[in-house]
Amino acid sequence: GEALAVSARVAPLGSRLVLLLVEDLTEARRIEAVRRDFVANVSHELKTPVGALSLLSEAVMDASDDPEAVERFAGRMQIEATRLTNLVQELIDLSRVQNDDPLEDAEPVRVDELVAEAIDRCRHAAGTKEITMAAGGTADLRVWGHRGQLAAALGNLVENAVNYSPARTRVGIAARRVAQPGGDMIEIAVTDQGIGISDKDKERIFERFYRVDPARSRATGGTGLGLAIVKHVAASHSGEVTVWSAEGQGSTFTLRLPEAGAARDRTHQMSDRD
Ligand code: ADP
């Protein structure tokens, strides 16, 4: 009787083990497929500007007796070269945030400095579109993390807000502390009055190379990697990035990060328990 009861208990356990193994294999296959897709995507993204550069250099040679045409082609070569440089830089940034543990170099980082840096980075693009940028609530707030990675993440969000907004609109950056039992968090919200994002696209914009409108993204120098970088940085800092958006009205991207003091308190609490 007892043996039967035991085997009855073991049998479902066995099938659960098999199920786990199958799930593991499926997951391994999924990861492999994502890796293959990524390589294919990178190759495609590199081929586009390289192909254009090759065609344009031929055009320059053919137009050697037409200085105006040469100048026009050279200008377009410059745009393609910039695109290539941006793409390579973003690939380096992405691989860095995927492979490094940012918390090894973590320090308290002032939110007002991160915000000022992000605004600085977009000043030119915002200026040409007469977009007003305003920041508030950042005084005295500090987050815990890798300064360079956090700057890259916030910079990407502000850059997108400017890129996907029409002229003479406003981009706002607001920060606040949010009380939380495990340690307070800092929320940095970037709000624009731009084109917005549909519910269907909202689920996908954080994927590498996903763009709602590839032509528009390319026209603004986008690589489709920015939000993937932001998502990685948020996750590796025990934070998160979320989006609210209404099509045609605008978007708010919110970066949630551990507060500097709170992170240290958490460590103290843990060593107190020991
Ligand atoms: P990109 O280099 O194309 O900007 P991202 O990864 O930063 O790549 O963003 C992915 C896509 O999400 C963009 O191509 C764009 O379609 C959409 N997107 C990102 N931010 C915004 C925003 N603030 N407003 C509207 N659409 C946005």
Ligand 1 centroid–CA 197 distance in Å is 9
Residue 216 confidence (pLDDT) = 83
Residue 4 confidence (pLDDT) = 55
Name the pLDDT band for 1 (thresholds 50, 70, 90): low
Give nearest CA residue, ligand 1 atom 18: 160
Per-residue tokens: 220: 């603004």
Residue 21 confidence (pLDDT) = 79
Residue 270 confidence (pLDDT) = 46
Instruction: Tell me the CB-side half-sphere exposure of residue 3, using CA atoms within 13 A.
Output: 0
Per-residue tokens: 106: 């973590």
The model scores a pTM over 0.90: no
DSSP assignment of the chain equals -HHHHHHHHHHHHHHHHHHHHHHHHHHHHHHHHHHHHHHHHHHHHHHHHHHHHHHHHHHHHHTTT-HHHHHHHHHHHHHHHHHHHHHHHHHHHHHHHHHS-GGGG-EEEEHHHHHHHHHHHHHHHHHHTT-EEEEES-TT-EEEE-HHHHHHHHHHHHHHHHHTS-TT-EEEEEEEEE--TTS-EEEEEEEE-SS---HHHHTTTTSTT--SSHHHHHHTT--S-HHHHHHHHHHHTT-EEEEEEETTTEEEEEEEEEBHHHHHHHHHHHHHH-
Name the pLDDT band for 274 (thresholds 50, 70, 90): very low
What average pLDDT is seen over the chain? 89
Has residue 169 got a pLDDT over 60?
yes
Has residue 162 got a pLDDT over 80?
yes
Has residue 85 got a pLDDT over 70?
yes
Residue 134 confidence (pLDDT) = 96
Contact 164, 194 (CB under 8 A): yes
Contact 96, 130 (CB under 8 A): no
Percent of the chain with pLDDT over 90: 68
Give nearest CA residue, ligand 1 atom 7: 226
Pocket test for ligand 1, best of 192, 211, 231, 255 (most atoms within 8 A of CB): 211
Has residue 253 got a pLDDT over 60?
yes
Ligand 1 centroid–CA 173 distance in Å is 17
Pocket residues: Cβ below 6 A from ligand 1: 156, 160-161, 164, 192, 194-197, 205, 210-213, 217, 222-228, 251
**Count of CB atoms situated within 10 Å of the CB of 78:** 11
Ligand 1 atom index nearest CA of 253: 23
Residue 224 confidence (pLDDT) = 93
Ligand 1 atom index nearest CA of 194: 24
Ligand 1 centroid–CA 145 distance in Å is 24
Ligand 1 atom index nearest CA of 225: 6
- 118-149: pLDDT as tens digits: 999 999 999 999 999 999 988 899 999 999 99
Ligand 1 centroid–CA 265 distance in Å is 36
Give nearest CA residue, ligand 1 atom 20: 160
180-205 average pLDDT score: 95
